[in-house]
Structure 1
Amino acid sequence: MSAALRVDKVVTSGTFSLDGGTWDVDNNIWLIGDDSEVVIVDAAHTAQPIIDAVAGRTVRAIICTHGHNDHVTVAPELAAALDAPIFLNPADDMLWEQTHPGVSHQVIEDGQRISVSGTDIEAMHTPGHSPGSTCLYLPEAGQLFSGDTLFSGGPGATGRSYSDFPTIIGSIRDRLFALPASTVVNTGHGDGTSIGDESPHLEEWIKRGS
């Protein structure tokens, strides 16, 4: 891992819409890289604050953790402004099409790796919040970017279309909680956490959700 690797956070505000409802949300956008190149995780609401944080660096990829509109809002705008490819798991194409009909993107699948700043970002397919939800793991840095799969205090929401509670629990239990306890979790909304802080609570989440 490059000693210069750093993670920058941008927060933007807007709305999430699905199933006829709309909610105000604040989203975390993550920039993984160094002084020369970067990967953007999620593309929420407003492009300019993200472009400002890129600060002229080469953008290797714009990776959307899932297809909900608040995570892909400005992905095409960023791709055009920054000359960067967009990646999304194809299981969320029906969600992507609701926001960006007819706009193409590249595919990211389980186990796929994208390199930046001397380290690998590994895609982990973690369905449940949406069919294509994908977490991004940096093993050398001990960091996970969980999108809306895992938060401080529990799993992501599963009460709307294309979501499933048993599926997200399985993804968290089998994939995320298999990571080292010290792994830092950078979430799609709100405060971060760690695998070790969340894993003891799995059974209570199951009881709460059943």
Structure 2
Amino acid sequence: MSDKDHAVRIDRVVTKGTFSLDGETFDVDNNVWLVGDDEQVLIVDAAHDARAIHEAVAGRHVTAIACTHAHDDHVDAAAELSVLTGAPVLLHADDHELWSHTHPGRKTDGELTDGRILTVAGIEVHVIHNPGHTWGSCSLYVPFLNAVFTGDTLFHGGPGATGRSYSDRPTIEASIRNRLLTLPGDTAVHTGHGQDTTIAAERPNVPAV
């Protein structure tokens, strides 16, 4: 393992804003995750405050802005952040319609597809399609860091919400059971809102078939 590998780390930026869907608006705090080293970084979600996120990048090369899903509170800063960093915005195709509600006329730059491997700072980031919270929701699994970034699919306490458009409770539960709970139990779960958890801690919180 090289010195560079040792320098790979996860940074969190908490941003504040609103979430709007189905005619309702709520105040929310979002976790924005930066994965990388002193030279390169991958941004997970672009919530609310492009300049605060850009400041946390601290001059590093941004390989991509990966959006776990297209609810407005996770992508509202994506276009501006892409301009500030020069990085492409990546999103699963099944969330393009949701994306267009926030960014009409501005398409994403690439797609997150199940099984795709992104690279940053010499490590692999595996894309896991996790439909249910939205149809295009994805998690990002980083084996080197023993961590998974789950957006709003899996929280401390169980599955994310499915009471709004573009969502389905049986789908999210099956997606979590089949694609996330199979990861090693000590895998750290870094969520889109709130505190971290682990895969083992959440196994009792997801209903069995």
Q: TM-score normalised by the shorter chain: which range applies?
A: over 0.9
> Does 2:127 align with 1:116?
no
> Does 2:26 align with 1:23?
yes
> Does 2:197 align with 1:193?
yes
1:4-51 per-residue CA deviation (whole Å, 9 max, x = no partner) reads 100000000000000000000000000000000100000001111101
Superposition pairs of residues 86-165 of structure 1, within 5 angstroms: 86-105=89-108, 106-165=110-169
Using the TM superposition, give the Cα deviation of residue 154 of structure 1 relative to its aligned residue in structure 2, in angstroms: 1.1
Using the TM superposition, give the Cα deviation of residue 102 of structure 1 relative to its aligned residue in structure 2, in angstroms: 1.3
1:124-145 per-residue CA deviation (whole Å, 9 max, x = no partner) reads 0000000000000001211000
CA distance in 1, matches of 2:158, 2:125: 24
Q: Of 40, 46, 64, which residue of structure 2 is paired with 1:37?
A: 40
Task: Name 2:172's counterpart in structure 1.
Answer: 168
CA distance in 1, matches of 2:206, 2:29: 26
Q: Of 6, 10, 33, which residue of structure 1 is paired with 2:13?
A: 10
Structure 2 residue matching 1:199: 3-state secondary structure: helix
Aligned CA-pair RMSD: 1.1
- TM norm structure 2: 0.96
Using the TM superposition, give the Cα deviation of residue 201 of structure 1 relative to its aligned residue in structure 2, in angstroms: 2.5
Q: Is the contact between residue 173 and residue 207 of structure 2 (CA under 8 Å) also seen in structure 1?
A: no
Paired residues, number:
205
Structure 1 residue matching 2:107: 3-state secondary structure: coil
Structure 1: tracts of 5 or more residues without a match: none
Q: Which residue type is aligned with residue 146 of structure 1? A: T
Q: Which residue type is aligned with residue 31 of structure 1? A: L
Structure 2: tracts of 5 or more residues without a match: none
Task: Name 1:184's counterpart in structure 2.
Answer: 188
1:178-207 per-residue CA deviation (whole Å, 9 max, x = no partner) reads 100010000000001000111123238x8x
CA distance in 1, matches of 2:73, 2:184: 29
Task: Name 2:67's counterpart in structure 1.
Answer: 64
Q: Which residue type is aligned with residue 129 of structure 2? A: H
CA distance in 2, matches of 1:161, 1:39: 29
Q: Which residue type is aligned with residue 117 of structure 1? A: A
Structure 2 residue matching 1:9: 3-state secondary structure: strand
1:148-179 per-residue CA deviation (whole Å, 9 max, x = no partner) reads 00000011000000110000000100000010
Structure 1 residue matching 2:148: 3-state secondary structure: strand
- TM norm structure 1: 0.96
